[in-house]
Amino acid sequence: MSRASKLTLAGTSLFAVGTVIMVHFQQKMEKQAMHQGVVRDMEQQRIKKERQLDFDLQKALEEEYKRGQTVRETTDESPPKSLPDR
C-alpha cells in the first residue's frame, strides 16, 4: 500500500469514527433534553391540577356562602339616605 492510500484510509476511518461518536453524543443530549421536557410537562400538569382543585374549592365555598346569606331585592328606587351633617 502506498503512503497516500494509507493516509486516505486513516483519514476516512478517523472521520467515520468521529462522526459515529458525534452522533452518539448528540442523541444522548437530545434524549436528556426530551426527558427534561417530559418532566417539565408533568410539573405543569401537576400545577394545573392543583390550581383547578383550588378553583373548585373556592367555587364550592362561594356557593356555600351565597346559600348562607339572605339577599333581599328592593323595589324602592329612591337614593340611599345620607347621614345628617353635624
For residue 1, give every residue at least 6 positions away whose Cβ sits within 8 Å of its Cβ, in sequence order, or none.
Answer: 9
Helical H segments across the chain, by residue range: 3-68
Q: Which residue has the cell 502506498?
A: 2
How confident is the model at residue 69, as a pLDDT?
81
For the chain, give the percent of residues with pLDDT over 70: 81
pLDDT number for residue 61:
93
pTM of the predicted model over 0.75: no
Residue 79 has pLDDT above 80, yes or no: no
- Alpha-carbon distances, residue 68 vs 59, 61, 64 (angstroms): 14, 11, 6
Q: For residue 72, what is the DSSP state?
A: -
Q: Which phi and psi angles does 30 have, rounded to 5°? A: -65, -40
29 pLDDT more than 80: yes
